[in-house]
Amino acid sequence: MIYGDYLRIKQVVLNLLSNAAKYNTKGGAIQVNCSTESEGMLKITIADNGNGISEKDQRELFQPFSRLNTDNSSSIGGTGIGLAVCKILVEQMHGRIGVESKLGKGSSFWFELPIAPDLEKKQFT
């Protein structure tokens, strides 16, 4: 169990999945993973096989109305506010969001949210 608003977590996951599908290569895969790399935090990672994002462009990703100049961006709809909204939502739930990407290798967007320690120990039937 994690602390967070169900609808807002769903909104973040759907936005990251949508972006992974939009910017993926033809025939590429999308992977979703959950882990507990940081103590007390659940990390959800959504990775694609797209073109990747340069380090310079990564710094601008979570800014409102920031659209990257990618090969196929002209055919992809969007306003450039999705990742900015995700950042605000995740941070309001006391989490963190980020990206790891290399050009030509794809991208992994992730976010972490606090695990509810008192709920972690309860047994559910």
Enter the pTM of the model. Answer: 0.83
Round the average pLDDT of the chain to a whole number and report it.
86
Q: Which two tokens stand for residue 86?
A: 């995700």
Specify whether the CB–CB gap between 82 and 66 falls below 8 A: no
Question: What are the tens digits of pLDDT across the range 28-48?
Answer: 999 999 999 888 999 999 999
Residue 91 lies in a domain: yes
In a domain, 125, yes or no: no
- In Å, how far from its chain's centre is CA 63? 14
pLDDT given at position 76: 63
Structurally, the chain folds into a number of domains equal to 1
For residue 94, name the pLDDT band (cuts at 50, 70, 90). very high
Give the structural domain span for 44: 6-120
Q: Provide the total of helices (H) and of strands (E) in the chain, helices listed first.
A: 4, 4
Q: Please check the confidence at residue 74 and state whether its pLDDT lies above 70.
A: no
Residue 1 belongs to a domain: no
Q: What is the CATH number of the domain that holds 54?
A: 3.30.565.10
Question: Over 70: is that where the pLDDT of 96 sits?
Answer: yes
Instruction: Give the per-residue pLDDT at 125.
Output: 40
